[in-house]
Structure 1
Amino acid sequence: MPTIFKRHCDEVTADHRIQMPQRVLPTSTNQCSIDVLVLRLEKYQADPSDAHACYPWAARFVMGIPVPAWQRSLVWNVGQQSRFISAVWLGADLGSYVTNECCKTSGAGSALVENSDALLDGQQRLHSLEEYFLDRLAVPDAQGQPRLWSELGKGERRRFLSTIFAHSSVCSLDEQALRKTYDFCAMGVAPRTYDQRAAQ
């Protein structure tokens, strides 16, 4: 006999001692346009030394956002990057990128404590955007011709920049909790191999 889905539990057979996993850190999500990310990139490009002074612990920056040293490196190839940018043009669901919004000064000038503002998920996608905006990546136009960002007119740029790319955020200075959040972000989509996990 086929099993029939039931929304509510059967009080007789249900085991109320069973608990399923819970999120490591509370998360909030906002619907933001790509233009918000571009403002951050422009600020970083204008004065990279200021960003490095604020986030001396950052291994690198992607779209002007600091990336912790315990994240995996950049692994997408040009084809993957190009497909992501094409997905933006086609209006696909881009998922969300995740940052740690918790900021606290370290007491050393303008430096922020480790993992403040850190990017926890979305590094490959954000790096693809950065490569595109800096004319290091060409993607096919409607006729299949590779095009750089600098070749596009105002209307097409406005359309691209107004695309929604959701921004999720957590707030914690607990590095182990942030590492676990990072590890869980891609579960089921493109699971990280054991050596790519931050919390081992």
Structure 2
Amino acid sequence: MSTTFQRYGDDETTDSLIHMPQRVLASSTYQFPIDVLADRLVQYLGDPSSFHDKFPWTERFVMGIPVPTWARPIVWNVGQMARFISAIWSGAHLGSYLTNEWYESVGAGRVLAENSEVLLDGQQRLHSLEEYFLDRLAVPDIQGQPRVWSELGNVERKRFLSTIFPHSSVSSDDEMALRRTYDLCALGVAPHTHDQRAAR
């Protein structure tokens, strides 16, 4: 085994038939503050029926974003959710969440085709945010006292909402490609079990 690193090979005598895996779908990433997600939640809570009318094929929304029918359910416990919110307060790297920005209208109405604008990765983290914003989750302050969102003053709220939480997106109407992308994202720190995979 080599103990040196070569950026490129010194010669091209390697096997040209070797090809490594490639992206299923090209993605773009944007540096948005959490406030963008909070705004979407406010819109959803203000008129949930319009979201259900627009995305009638989904049973679940997280932060106002539709969740595909083939995504796994919420699995993080209270401790995991609280640790994620605490990580935001502490300035930890949050990774990114991934959506499908493709959408297509169905008929003349405002209904969008299945898999339009769906959340592909980050459901557990976004659900944690939603629980926190709705006072269903408390996290400790610097003295260790559990605090819910409504207890905080505007200075602290603005600091939290201004935290960058990168938003990555793909754009595809190919459900199998979306499912494979979902499964690839699920190979991270909390891999999905076989029955939670979307493309089996």
* TM-score interval (norm. to shorter): over 0.9
1:10 to partner: Cα distance: 3.7
Tell me the equivalent position of 2:42.
42
- SS of alignment partner, residue 127 of structure 2: helix
Instruction: Provide the rounded CA distance (Å) in 2 between the counterparts of 1:53 and 1:9.
Output: 56
Paired residue for 2:18? 18
- Provide Cα deviations, 1:48-103, integer angstroms capped at 9, x if missing partner: 00000000111200000000110000000000000000000000000000000001
Report the counterpart of residue 196 of structure 2 in structure 1.
Answer: 196
Structure 2 distance, partners of 1:190, 1:20, is 24
User: Cα RMSD over matched residues?
Assistant: 1.2
Counterpart CA distance in 1 for 2:70 and 2:154 is 39
Report how many aligned residue pairs link the two structures. 200
Alignment-derived partner of residue 55 in structure 2: 55
Q: Letter of the aligned partner of 2:48 in structure 1?
A: P
Q: Distance in 1 between matches of 2:165 and 2:39?
A: 14
Match of 2:127 in 1: 127
Q: Deviations over 1:126-169 (max 9, x none)?
A: 00000000000000000000000000000000000000000000
Q: Distance in 1 between matches of 2:138 and 2:2?
A: 52
CA apart distance, 1:4: 1.5
Supply the AA of the counterpart residue of 1:190. Answer: A
What is the rounded CA distance, in whole Å, between the counterparts of 2:141 and 2:40 in structure 1? 26
Alignment of 1:83-162 (within 5 A): 83-107=83-107, 109-162=109-162
- Residues 67-78 of structure 1 aligned to structure 2 (within 5 Å): 67-78=67-78
Distance 2:64 2:181 in 1: 21
1:38 to 1:15, Cα distance in 2 relative to 1, 3 A: same
TM-score (norm 1): 0.97
**CA distance in 1: counterparts of 2:54 and 2:10, whole angstroms:** 55
Counterpart Cα distance in 1 of 2:199 and 2:98: 17
Which segments of 5 or more consecutive residues in structure 2 lack a partner in the other structure? none
Give the deviation of 1:42 after TM superposition.
0.3
The SS at the match of 1:32 is: coil
**Could you tell me which residue of structure 1 aligns to residue 165 of structure 2?**
165
Report sequence identity in percent. 68
Deviation at 1:190, TM superposition (A): 2.2
